[in-house]
Amino acid sequence: MPIYLDHNAGAPVCAEAAAAVARLSADMGANPSSVHRSGQRSRRMLEVARAQVASIVGAEPRQIVFASGGTESNNLAIFGAIATAARRRKIISSRIEHSSILAPLAELERRGFDVVRVAPDSDGRIDPERVLAVLDGETALVTLGLANSEVGTIQDLAPLASMCATAGALFHIDAAQAAGRIPLDVAVLGCDLMTLSGHKLGAHSGIGALYVRDFTRIAPIMFGGPHESGLRAGTPNLPGAVSFGAAAEAAMNALGAESVRIGSLAASLFTRLREAIPGLRLNGPMTGRLPNTLNLTFPGVLGESMLIALDLEGIEVSMGSACAAGAVEPSHVLLAMGRSVADARSSLRFSLGRNNTAQEIETAAAIIPDLWRRVAAAEPLSEVGAR
């Protein structure tokens, strides 16, 4: 079995979600919108799942809209929000967001919207003052990630809620990486919209959700039946929702103890690697970070080579984002934090999760320094590119 350290890309399906979907698969699988009793049973399962998901962010079940994943939820939040604020043409975000926010914003820019992307500091933190400085009566939406997927920096977003409310702008938080890893409460954060993703916290992929505080402030982007309070047409993905509900409940039950356990595993991995690899650098802040995420710059090597060498030894990590042809582009997050392209190309993301054991981390910590020495000796950066 590989040592899987790529939970920010997708967590393995947890036992609770697998069992819930197995139970559902043995059932009729009727449409939750149908009037008959099989349909009613499906509807009940859907609503149980909705309540389970709502409870991890402190929301009312009716405020949770199921969608196909974090990407759809972000698209719904962004395009749905601007549809109700026709006069306002400004959207504020940051340079370190996920592609499912950056790409919709680039599209809106092509359509003539004014998109402001706030720069982070060198630890990947967004200063709320910088957002406030550009927030005005023209602003339709402020959309920001709560925990960064690549470096794990957790933003201090709560101060923005009242500012957005005062300016009349909607406030959307992408919590895909935060949910199930740190305590979340929509009342504390004060956001209007919040994106959640199932497979990041142990559900099957293909399910996500959008928390909507007030349904009058958002319009659907897909049209069809009156499902999901009229905001997301299409027969609900019942197995996905049931999986999401079970995984969310399991993650919430384990949250306190697990974040301490995973945090100490990550800390011990970093300590061991730092002792063995001179010049190893942690990207992101020392505190105020996701406990499971370590983004590390390995001196003198290509991250791509390290990634493959690690995979051949059964240690699975990731870097940047893979483009269509499979080659890996340097992380836009690290570049926005002021790292050089060369440093970004030397960086890897380790993201731990519920299944990881102390033994696995011990094994990884023992293997990685040897691999780094081998790769650095065989393929020094001085030989890369021109000679």
Active site residues: 323
Rounded to an integer, what distance in angstroms lies between the CA atom of residue 115 and that of residue 108?
8
Q: Is 366 in the site for another protein (CB under 8 A)?
A: no
Q: Any bridge partners for residue 319, and if so which? A: none
Nearest approach in angstroms of CB 234 to another protein is 29
Nearest approach in angstroms of CB 99 to another protein is 17
Q: Is 267 in the site for another protein (CB under 8 A)?
A: no
If the CB atoms of residues 87 and 387 are measured against another protein, the closer one turns out to be: 387
From the centroid of its chain, how far is CA 383? 36
How many C-beta atoms lie closer than 10 Å to residue 110's C-beta?
9
Q: Is 35 in the site for another protein (CB under 8 A)?
A: no
If the CB atoms of residues 257 and 325 are measured against another protein, the closer one turns out to be: 325
Nearest approach in angstroms of CB 161 to another protein is 40
Nearest approach in angstroms of CB 310 to another protein is 10
Residue type, 252: M
8-state DSSP, 318: B
Q: Applying CB under 8 A, which of residues 290, 308, 333, 344 lies at the interface with another protein?
A: 308
Q: Is 107 in the site for another protein (CB under 8 A)?
A: no
If the CB atoms of residues 260 and 308 are measured against another protein, the closer one turns out to be: 308
Rounded to an integer, what distance in angstroms lies between the CA atom of residue 229 and that of residue 242?
18
Q: Applying CB under 8 A, which of residues 304, 355, 362, 363 lies at the interface with another protein?
A: 304
Q: Is 110 in the site for another protein (CB under 8 A)?
A: no
Q: Any bridge partners for residue 211, and if so which? A: 64, 194
* C-alpha dist (Å) from residue 220 to 63, 81, 233: 14, 9, 8
Is the CA virtual torsion 228, 233, 239, 240 positive or negative? negative
Nearest approach in angstroms of CB 293 to another protein is 24
Nearest approach in angstroms of CB 344 to another protein is 13
Residues in the chain: 387
* Chain residues 282-301 in contact with another protein, contact rule CB under 8 A: 301
Using CB under 8 A, which of the segments 84-92, 237-245, 266-274, 305-313 binds another protein?
A: 305-313
Residue type, 379: E
Q: Applying CB under 8 A, which of residues 87, 111, 324, 359 lies at the interface with another protein?
A: 324
Alpha-helix runs per DSSP H in the chain: 15-25, 37-57, 70-83, 99-110, 128-134, 158-167, 186-189, 238-276, 303-312, 332-336, 341-345, 358-378
Residue type, 102: L
Using CB under 8 A, which of the segments 2-10, 196-204, 244-252, 379-387 binds another protein?
A: 379-387
Q: Applying CB under 8 A, which of residues 1, 257, 327, 359 lies at the interface with another protein?
A: 327
Q: Which two tokens stand for residue 273?
A: 């690697």
Instruction: Report the interface residues with another protein, using CB under 8 A.
Output: 301, 304-305, 308-309, 311-312, 323-328, 374-375, 377-379, 383-387
